[in-house]
Structure 1
Amino acid sequence: MSLINVTNLTFSYDGNYDTIFENVSFQIDTDWKLGFTGRNGRGKTTFFNLLLGKYEYTGNISTNVNFEYFPYEVEEQENFTIDIIKEISPNSMDWEIMKELSMLDIDDDVLYRQFYTLSKGEQTKALLAAMFLKENSFLLIDEPTNHLDAEARKKLSNYLRKKKGFILISHDRAFLDNCIDHILSINKTNIEIQKGDFSSWWENKKRQDGYELAENEKLRRDINRLSESAKRTSSWSSEVEKSKKGTTNSGSKIDKGYVGHKSAKMMKRSKSIENRREASIEEKSKLLKNIESSDSLKISQLAYHKNKLLELENVSIFYGHTMVCKDISFSIEQGERISLKGKNGSGKSSIIKLICDENIKYTGTFRKGSGLKISYVSQDTSYLKGNLTNYAFENSIDESLFKAILRKLDFSREQFEKDISSFSGGQKKKVLIAKSLCEKAHLYIWDEPLNFIDVISRMQIEELLLEYSPTLLFVEHDSEFCKNVATKFVEL
């Protein structure tokens, strides 16, 4: 067991007014299976880069362990997989590599295939196996589940549950719950570590948020009451002080000593009330700092003139002479939220392309309602660039609504001034989702919309979909999201 001690860590990027970390201190045990969570753009990958020594910072990070970062960049993808694994972990024996791959449910034959011929899931598993074969390293695993199907995620989570000595960034709640024993969270104003899984951390957070909201309301009432009391006492004191210059109703002179004493007593009471008020305000200022904004969002869906929007009947899709899916049959009716499920390569994206009018070769029957308006969110974000104002104009969406949705998805106002190409992966996906929510459509089609998006935003989007019930066809491998949102499952 070793310790990683972080003391008074402060960091911001050159030329950026935002401070990513400010005087944060915590300690990590290298035997932990540590989940790492926090809103997009809070600094999770930045913290990994600080541990790897890529940036200068103030404060101190003290440890005697070596760090390994996932995902690896594989430049020579034409090489055999076994050669790539041995390049990462040169001391590994063949039998050790095969044992590690078997734990990930990968056949040995992938070792003697060129790396680029492997699926995304197979590549991820092979590189993680290579990573865990390295000795005396503490592993920094950055979102390994992106583009993995639900079955592959479950196998990977079971694999990680048997390991220790890593920090894992993931936004998949079920994945985290299955394989971690501690959680590191970047909040609005601090970093904290708790023992347990994501669900236990989230329950603790909700309890703390509820307590702070109740305390905040109680203190707000106290401050108002004390403010009114201080005004009344000050007013009484002033009236008593004025009376020192007058006479009593019987015409006798006022006892100025008594009046002065009474006035001083009232002033003292007023001061005491004011001190209590200031203390209440100071106490109130300590609350709500880490409560995440999760305001509800609003969308306006178009109503279609028929209940059934489209239908596939015994549809098979081909690329050239290769059949990617066979005899697919399902329909989409208004108000349905359909989860399109299946392993990677089973044809989910091909079906979406067919529905979205791309030139796809197919057999069978495909019917789509005339004049059907579709809002589409793609997997790809690489083309996004320019500022948000121009992006809204180019896509003919309401800029105010677009930015309001992004604000509610935790975009700061400073973010609005930046080029979209500089956004994190999760922030880019939020741009696409916010655009889609601004578009008035009969049918929303989202292809892996949650890749890179933080957990709190995922739950926020869930609430929106449940409240407004748009007609939705989506491909998503986050099992909790699918379970909570879908009204129907179509399995390929």
Structure 2
Amino acid sequence: MILLQVQNVARLFGSDVLFEKANMDVQENSRIALVGRNGVGKSTLIKMIMGIQTPDNGQITKNKNLTIGYLAQDNGLNSSNSIYDEMLTIFENLKTMEANLHSLENEIASFHNFDTSQQKYETLLNNYDQLLHNFREANGYGYESEIRAVLHGFKFYQQDYNTLINTLSGGQKTRLALAKLLLEKNDLLILDEPTNHLDIQTLSWLENYLQSYSGALLIISHDRYFLDKVANEIYELTPNGTEHYQGNYSFYIEEKNIRFQHEVKQFEKQQEKIEKLEDFVSRNIVRASTTKRAQSRRKQLEKINRIARPIGKQQGPHFHFSSNQQSGNIVLRVSDAFIGYNTKISGPINIDLRKQQMMAVVGSNGVGKSTLLKSILGKIPLLDGKYSFGANVKTGYYDQEFKNLHPNKSVLNELWDEHPTTAEKDIRSILGSFLFSGEDVKKTVHNLSGGEKARLLLTKLAFNHDNFLIFDEPTNHLDIDSKEVLETALLEFDGTVLFISHDRYFINKVATSVLEISEHGSQLYLGDYDYYIDKKEEQLLLAQENNQNELTVVKMAEKTDYQLNKDQQRKKRKLQREIVEIENQLENLSTQEEEIQKQMIIPDIYTNLEKSTELQTSLKTIQGKISVLEDSWEKKSMELEYLN
């Protein structure tokens, strides 16, 4: 069933067209990504769908009673409530139902004169049964576990629950706004750049959650890895309309190229036909013996519906990085470094970076990734340890906060003032390769968009010709085309790169190694992002096996300790059996949950409303059982720990 339709929608500014002929069908359980160049109007189209703006042409139709959850870019949650109380407001209806259930229970329990009021008693029982059924169907016994699970996914823990929302940072408020939207379970969830304030671990959690989301999804994101995991339809918005692709982002890239090549062949084939007809006409129109045939060919020419010349990628930035001199083989060494501002954030950190290597630095938000780069650059002192650069190392630094730019300078002077002996035409030439041309070079830096500032900072780096480039989140403000250009430039760079990024697609494309830092130190992985994830999973499985072996040893030791009280031993064994039984049940339920989630993403199933609804009901039931068992496991584990 179609939930929403966009039909020939346009946004015009007088005679100028931002976009036109935009079309989109959003079905139940759709997983749609809306992509396109920065400034083409993706967010504008979303605002039209939400009714915030009105289309200049075309129409948008929605199903009656359609519920939509919408997260705008960097739109945080504003509330005077605490974190947990705000999440509870979503379930006011369940709290009311719960109160009514208790009221009916009390009324039934106090019913004494059954013989004289049998009908009233049966009515009470029927009302109670119906309300209890509705309460269970709405996850009445599991909604608080669901709240805790979602908050945990966004890294809000029990000690944070009473924190007032108006005391949180902007990024935390954005994460809470997304958490609340997920818990609301709207028919359609529209997310405009939802990954902006999420670290890699939270992104992975969100991807898994959205894959089993019961409603439809419409997402704008520059995170290509995220789109690969979540989307199975792509709509590309261009000034001339929308192109639809049935697949994830990687499929879209391949299919787009295939379509372009096909269009080129069709165009060339038609041009060849036109040239032959025109040649025949020009050679034969004046000859009496062939003029009729020439006139016939001319009519054929007039009837041809001419194919426009296919246009490949729109003009984007084109640049490369190169170094003026080669560094020594050793570029950077960091030994047992502890980083932080007065107090330790993380350490010990060790780095041995060699020439032409490209190392990605990953880790949770707040663990000190940017602090590490600033410490290496001497902007912040190390709390302990040391670092050193190799011979002939010349560093260039990309600061995600753009502090390397002067807000009151023009674009032209931002570059020219650092290279005053360079001719203005050469300065303008390199600015042009980064899409600053004409009057753009006179813009003041503080009036630039985030994407323009990012391109200006990249311009400065390219012009300096350093042999060691250090990047702090270089892709944050770049559109997808610009990211691809940056990837190519780095892959062709003859120097060394150290960078922080949450863009897993970018890490996969560029990195030769991944350095994970945590509060306990650093761990090096000699491969790209997917290799890093695979190794992390292997380490986790190995740790679980070791823990199980240690638990077995502990149990054997306990059996030989005859000094313990027999009653205590008996109670411990009973608890251990119960915990093992719960763990077995949890394992079985988790397997069932995973199997249902796999089925739910099969096209033949998620497009079948009956099957999809049946699976969603089963999933809710299983998740409720898991929540109850997890609570029981925690209580029994704490009791066992106390006995130990």
Letter matched to residue 69 of structure 2: E
Letter matched to residue 472 of structure 1: V
Name the residue aligned to 1:283. 306
Deviation (angstroms), 1:301: 2.0
For residues 276-323 of structure 1, the C-alpha deviation after alignment (integer angstroms, 9 at most, x for no partner) is 66777x6341x4246444686333322235232221111112311x11
1:133 to 178, 183, 187: 183
Name the residue aligned to 1:96. 143
2:401 is aligned with 1:356: no
Deviation (angstroms), 1:423: 5.2
Name the residue aligned to 1:297. 319
Deviation (angstroms), 1:27: 2.7
For residues 381-403 of structure 1, the C-alpha deviation after alignment (integer angstroms, 9 at most, x for no partner) is 59757753344434548533433
Structure 1 residues 185, 379: closer, same or farther in 2, change over 3 A? same
After superposition, residues 217-366 of structure 1 pair within 5 angstroms as 217-221=268-272, 230-233=281-284, 237=286, 261-262=288-289, 265-266=290-291, 268-271=292-295, 283-285=306-308, 287-289=309-311, 291-293=313-315, 297-320=319-342, 322-366=343-387
Give the Cα–Cα distance (whole angstroms) in 1 for the partners of residues 206 and 185 of structure 2.
20
Deviation (angstroms), 1:406: 2.5
Letter matched to residue 402 of structure 1: I
Give the Cα–Cα distance (whole angstroms) in 2 for the partners of residues 386 and 271 of structure 1.
65
Name the residue aligned to 1:8. 8
After superposition, residues 341-420 of structure 1 pair within 5 angstroms as 341-369=362-390, 372-381=393-402, 388-394=411-417, 396=419, 398-407=426-435
Q: Is the 8 A contact 2:491 2:510 kept in 1?
A: yes
Structure 1 residues 2, 278: closer, same or farther in 2, change over 3 A? closer
Deviation (angstroms), 1:87: 6.3
Q: Is the 8 A contact 1:378 1:446 kept in 2?
A: yes
Q: Is the 8 A contact 1:51 1:67 kept in 2?
A: no
Q: Is the 8 A contact 2:34 2:218 kept in 1?
A: yes
Name the residue aligned to 1:182. 233
Letter matched to residue 328 of structure 2: K
2:212 to 162, 171, 185: 162
Structure 1 residues 228, 120: closer, same or farther in 2, change over 3 A? same
Give the Cα–Cα distance (whole angstroms) in 1 for the partners of residues 241 and 302 of structure 2.
25
Give the Cα–Cα distance (whole angstroms) in 2 for the partners of residues 159 and 356 of structure 1.
39
Give the Cα–Cα distance (whole angstroms) in 1 for the partners of residues 324 and 510 of structure 2.
20
Deviation (angstroms), 1:154: 0.8
Q: Is the 8 A contact 1:120 1:147 kept in 2?
A: no
What CA RMSD, in Å, does the superposition of the two structures yield over aligned residues? 3.5
Q: Is the 8 A contact 2:327 2:391 kept in 1?
A: no
User: How many residues of Structure 1 are paired with residues of Structure 2 in the alignment?
Assistant: 456
RCO higher in structure (CA 8 A, sep ≥6)? 1
Structure 1 residues 418, 30: closer, same or farther in 2, change over 3 A? farther
Give the Cα–Cα distance (whole angstroms) in 2 for the partners of residues 357 and 413 of structure 1.
38
Structure 1 residues 214, 193: closer, same or farther in 2, change over 3 A? closer
Give the Cα–Cα distance (whole angstroms) in 2 for the partners of residues 183 and 126 of structure 1.
27
Name the residue aligned to 1:44. 42
Deviation (angstroms), 1:221: 5.0
Higher helix proportion: 2
Q: Is the 8 A contact 2:69 2:188 kept in 1?
A: yes
Name the residue aligned to 2:106. none
Q: Is the 8 A contact 2:327 2:355 kept in 1?
A: no
% identical aligned pairs: 26
Larger Rg: 2
Deviation (angstroms), 1:426: 3.7
For residues 35-87 of structure 1, the C-alpha deviation after alignment (integer angstroms, 9 at most, x for no partner) is 221111111111222223333432322224344321433445x8521244456
Structure 1 residues 393, 86: closer, same or farther in 2, change over 3 A? farther
Worse-matched range after superposition: 116-125 or 98-107: 116-125
Give the Cα–Cα distance (whole angstroms) in 1 for the partners of residues 482 and 9 of structure 2.
27
Give the Cα–Cα distance (whole angstroms) in 2 for the partners of residues 299 and 218 of structure 1.
40
Q: Is the 8 A contact 1:39 1:455 kept in 2?
A: yes
Name the residue aligned to 1:68. 69
Structure 1 residues 434, 175: closer, same or farther in 2, change over 3 A? same
Give the Cα–Cα distance (whole angstroms) in 2 for the partners of residues 114 and 387 of structure 1.
42
Name the residue aligned to 1:24. 22
2:481 to 452, 456, 463: 456
Deviation (angstroms), 1:451: 1.4
Letter matched to residue 49 of structure 2: L
Worse-matched range after superposition: 380-389 or 169-178: 380-389
Give the Cα–Cα distance (whole angstroms) in 1 for the partners of residues 25 and 446 of structure 2.
34
Aligned residue for 1:208, secondary structure, equals: helix
Give the Cα–Cα distance (whole angstroms) in 2 for the partners of residues 37 and 117 of structure 1.
34
Worse-matched range after superposition: 225-234 or 299-308: 225-234
2:470 to 412, 430, 445: 445
Give the Cα–Cα distance (whole angstroms) in 2 for the partners of residues 17 and 373 of structure 1.
50
Q: TM-score, normalised by structure 2?
A: 0.62
For residues 357-408 of structure 1, the C-alpha deviation after alignment (integer angstroms, 9 at most, x for no partner) is 313233212112476432222222597577533444345485334333334x
Structure 1 residues 111, 305: closer, same or farther in 2, change over 3 A? closer
Give the Cα–Cα distance (whole angstroms) in 2 for the partners of residues 372 and 133 of structure 1.
51
Name the residue aligned to 2:51. 53
Aligned residue for 1:102, secondary structure, equals: helix
Deviation (angstroms), 1:416: 6.3
Q: TM-score, normalised by structure 1?
A: 0.80
Worse-matched range after superposition: 149-158 or 414-423: 414-423
1:81 to 80, 83, 92: 83
Name the residue aligned to 1:431. 456
Q: Is the 8 A contact 1:120 1:148 kept in 2?
A: no
Letter matched to residue 165 of structure 1: A
Give the Cα–Cα distance (whole angstroms) in 1 for the partners of residues 179 and 508 of structure 2.
30
Q: Is the 8 A contact 1:147 1:451 kept in 2?
A: no
Structure 1 residues 84, 436: closer, same or farther in 2, change over 3 A? farther
Q: Unpaired segments of 5 or more residues in structure 2?
A: 96-139, 518-644
